Structure 1
Amino acid sequence: MLSVLIVEDDHIQRKNLVKMIYEADKNLDIYEAESMEEALNMSKENYINFFYIDIFLKDSSGLDLALELRKMEIYKFTWIIFITTHVKYMLQAFKEIHCYDYIIKPYRKEEIIETTRFLISGRYKYNIKEDKNRYAVFVLQNSISVKLNIDEIFFIEVNLRKVTLHTKKGKYQPKKMSLSKALVIINADNILQSHKSFAVNVKLINKMESISPKLWKISFVNYEENALLSYKFKDAVTEVLKKNI
């Protein structure tokens, strides 16, 4: 699920903007903030796919907020759309912040919907330097965000309601995460649920061994730990595995 953060200190305008963006896609996860501090906190606790930021905020400038976001590695190339009543600030926005676009108040609903649909359509890349790879961003238990290469994930494990991502670069435990939510964030055809407590990267499977009539142990290339495959998910995993051989 893609997420957008709207930063607007006028309550009525912010709520109107939320309604317009929902018309573009009802599946968007929309966050709201009315100040720079609140927006930065939300951006650290959640991964935001793109931002709508008002240039003028009560406690600061939307430009200052954007500059702070650009200092964060995960938002270095994220799309930012400014909302403004003054075009004169936009030259600074494009030069210093590399914003995607700006919308002049009073904005038209059609313009908001069109811009939002373009951003979520997949006709852009968040990071042109990384367009050959696929990434997913997770917020960890210590509230630090980590961007992981999807193809480097061996498997996902759930134990005592805690999710662990087993990757080529180590293990990571996302904050407030379930197996189903992790799969939505990753959104990759090669990572499939294999058991009620596991999801595996089919491309990195080395071997499957039977340990009971309805349970198998999955081992991975150059990784010592194993995942489980249950009878319920065996056919789906096996079918994708055959395609990747």
Structure 2
Amino acid sequence: MVSVLVVEDDYVQRKNLVEMICESDKNLDIYEAQSMQEALKISKETYINFFYIDIMLKDSSGLNLASELRKMEIYKFTWIIFITTHVKYMLQAFKEIHCYDYIIKPYKKEEIIETTRFLVSGKYRYSIKENENKYVVFILQDSISVKLDVDEIFFIEVNLRKVTLHTKKGKYQPKKMSLAKALTIINSDYILQSHKSFAVNVKLIDKIESISTKLWKVSFVNYKEKALLSYKFKDAVAEILTKSI
């Protein structure tokens, strides 16, 4: 049986949320907590498949609770859905906690049911070994945040000190970003620096063609634009490329 833990310090709101979750699947095993300590106690005594956590708890922050859960090996990659009235905390949540999603108060029953059914279905599962950081968030030039699936990033390009993320959804230019910082945020074993101005997703490489004795052109599956691979980085890229084949 799939188990869910709802952490919300407001009794009425917690009961409303539990009722909505129950509508999505009558067979769920739902646990309730009103504080960080109570939530941690339940999580240690019973395995929880996913969490709904209010960002603002009376005795602590939902982010602090999530951080403590992430320190426990069994919850290192468990999906967490934050409940909040404060969207400003969500960038921190995606970057530091790697949460699945967030829901804005007041709750919309349809959103709760849809999210719960999706998680219960198991369609969210992915290989932890292949990609430990499923989603990342970047702040764009106009201060709008974009949430990206790491697997959808073809490559990262630096031109005139501006970083461009080439993805399956389009191109994005994060604000105040360097190539090194972008790679740190993404934190994927499969996205590697290939040139002083490029980093590539090795899993999406279609072919590598020689330009000169120390420079190669990298093509990607179903994407027209190219990246560069220099002699300095070719061995590291080749090693991961070989493992991914």
Say yes or no: TM over 0.5.
Answer: yes
Q: CA-atom RMSD, angstroms?
A: 3.0
How many Å apart are 1:103 and its aligned residue?
Answer: 5.5
Residues 157 and 198, structure 1, Cα contact 8 Å, conserved in 2: yes
How many Å apart are 1:81 and its aligned residue?
Answer: 7.5
How many residues are aligned here? 157
Q: Are 1:116 and 2:67 counterparts?
A: yes
SS in 1 for 2:184: helix
Match of 1:232 in 2: 232
How many Å apart are 1:119 and its aligned residue?
Answer: 3.6
Q: 1:31-180 counterparts in 2 under 5 A?
A: 89-92=10-13, 95=16, 98-100=52-54, 105=59, 116-119=67-70, 122-125=76-79, 126-127=99-100, 129=119, 131-132=124-125, 134-180=134-180
Q: 1:104 to 1:224 in 2, by over 3 A?
A: closer
How many Å apart are 1:117 and its aligned residue?
Answer: 2.6
SS in 1 for 2:192: strand
Structure 2: unaligned runs, 5 residues or longer: 1-5, 19-51, 80-98, 101-117, 127-133
> Structure 1: how far apart are the matches of 2:7 and 2:180?
31
> Which is worse superposed, 90-99 or 199-208?
90-99
Q: 1:124 to 1:235 in 2, by over 3 A?
A: same
Q: 1:185 to 1:117 in 2, by over 3 A?
A: same
**Residue identity opposite 1:92 in structure 2:** Q
For normalisation by structure 2, the TM-score amounts to 0.56
Q: 1:114 to 1:96 in 2, by over 3 A?
A: closer
Q: 1:224 to 1:116 in 2, by over 3 A?
A: closer
Task: Deviation per CA, 1:68-102: give whole Å up to 9, x if none.
Answer: xxxxxxxxxxxx987xxxx6x34425645953587
Match of 2:48 in 1: none
SS in 1 for 2:227: strand
Match of 1:46 in 2: none
Residues 81 and 101, structure 1, Cα contact 8 Å, conserved in 2: no
Structure 1: unaligned runs, 5 residues or longer: 1-79
**Residue identity opposite 1:118 in structure 2:** L
SS in 2 for 1:131: coil
Identical columns (%): 60
Task: Deviation per CA, 1:114-171: give whole Å up to 9, x if none.
Answer: 7633245524212274733622111111111111111111100001111101011111
Which runs of at least 4 in structure 1 moved beyond 4 Å after TM superposition? Answer: 100-105, 112-115
Residues 93 and 99, structure 1, Cα contact 8 Å, conserved in 2: no
Match of 1:189 in 2: 189
> Structure 2: how far apart are the matches of 1:143 and 1:94?
36
> Structure 1: how far apart are the matches of 2:7 and 2:56?
5
Task: Deviation per CA, 1:190-228: give whole Å up to 9, x if none.
Answer: 111101110001011111111122111111111111101
For normalisation by structure 1, the TM-score amounts to 0.56
Q: 1:81 to 1:174 in 2, by over 3 A?
A: farther
> Structure 2: how far apart are the matches of 1:190 and 1:94?
43
